[in-house]
Chains A and B, each alone.
Chain A
């Protein structure tokens, strides 16, 4: 029987909710593991979950410096979509979206995945042409896409600026109906419980300090809770990948940058979809609690500080006001920053590393949250088989040396432009 169900809720209500099993254990680290995953965020936990579930590897530890889901998993704007054009990205994010559609059932944990649709607005004829091309490419890859004209956008989103004064008039938009949002914390908690029930040790407050190497292999990890041996090791530490790699003398095509996100005071239902601005960088949805969750550009300079700066707040909010003028009197309730691993072509790096038994899962730029289950799924495959799955075969570290960039925006090797 499922651990969480209407029946178990009723039974525990009768006994005063004293018999719920702890969602995941708090084990002492063992001496040796088959696989160590560094980072208990969504990607690390999903990797451990799929390693245990799909590949039968149960002797796994997930090491976390702070607390589970306390990094970017709890700091994003919860948007899930797969509206990519290039082959390498399209199939990865679509695989991820398909896993999202099953995730609550698979984990027996409500991740509140809401397929409310994601619409990118277009503000010129040229942008409409580009969106038509993108939409056609998506549909040829088996991904849903609908091109909306101005009247259709207005019918779905009447709160946007359709006045004659709009600085960037709305010409239409590209909608992915299967896109939407999910509850970010629930994803981490559900994956943690799922992995724990399959025997994975999730070890929190355990910072990786160094590595023991023999030949071209990592034999053990030195942590704040002692030395832990490993057969294979995977990094899923987002913005801190460069910091860990430096301990191995490895340099990566990545810069760490800070991205801010915001929540407004709660409102009655206003925005029932995810909508993004096409003339600047602004994306917004409304949470179930009523707050508008929104974000924009990164702060543009290298940063490991999990807080951003005021000029970017003004920049993001002014883009939002150009799109939805009625937000002008709304107060911001909270804002925060997360550290993005900005890669040199804007696409993730997920695969093998120059060290024989080290696997990298990094370079997610802004886009990591939506990839959570898909990233874990392909990363687990890569670690278990010592070679990438067909889906992530093009997202290798050596693509930069070979000139095979996956540059969705065509922005070139400038990490803060992706």
Chain B
């Protein structure tokens, strides 16, 4: 079990959450000026890292809030959690561990 520290509900098992996906993809700012290459990158291309990965989970069986999670894809260890807009990778060194490995 992966345990995720929801900012509103506290530490919960991951079966309460729905996995949304990679949190780092930025939607092109404006359809009027965005290029096809930008859309291709946003919709299809992923970093797919082996190691720390920033991702969005939704607490569908709790508060229904979106939660940003920094998780190691090689060990399933949750390194940090925060609000969707937080950049957890930048803060990772200063944050204490908020979850535990499965």
Where the two chains meet, the residues of A that have a C-beta atom closer than 8 Å to any C-beta of B are 240, 242-243, 246, 251-256, 300-305, 309-311, 344, 400-401, 413-416
Contact = CB atoms under 8 A, between A and B. Distances in A.
B50 A243 contact: yes
A301 B1 contact: no
Contacts of A415: 46
A413 B55 CA distance: 16
Nearest to B41: A251
A253 B73 contact: no
B12 interface: no
A416 B74 CA distance: 17
Interface string B10-42: 000111000101100000000000001100100
B59 interface: no
Given A303-B76, A304-B74, A252 B102 contact: no
A254 B19 CA distance: 16
Contacts of B37: 401
A345 B3 CA distance: 30
A82 B40 CA distance: 30
Contacts of A304: 50, 73-74
B15 A253 contact: no
B48 A302 contact: yes
Interface in B70-85: 71, 73-76
Contacts, number: 75
A304 B73 CA distance: 6
Contact of A413 (B2, B15, B44, B75): B44
The 10 closest A-B pairs by CB, nearest first: A242-B48, A311-B15, A253-B44, A400-B44, A301-B19, A304-B50, A344-B44, A300-B19, A243-B50, A304-B74
Q: Pick from B1, B13, B36, B73 the residue with the most CB of A within 10 Å.
A: B73
A252 B73 CA distance: 17
A58 to B, nearest CB: 34
Contacts of A413: 43-44
Contact of A302 (B14, B55, B75): B55
A129 B72 CA distance: 44
B96 interface: no
Given A304-B73, A401-B36, A309 B45 contact: no
Contacts of A301: 2, 14, 19, 55, 71
22 contacts: A242-B50, A251-B45, A252-B46, A253-B44, A254-B48, A255-B21, A255-B48, A301-B2, A301-B14, A301-B19, A302-B55, A302-B73, A303-B76, A305-B74, A305-B75, A309-B14, A311-B13, A400-B40, A400-B43, A400-B44, A413-B43, A413-B44
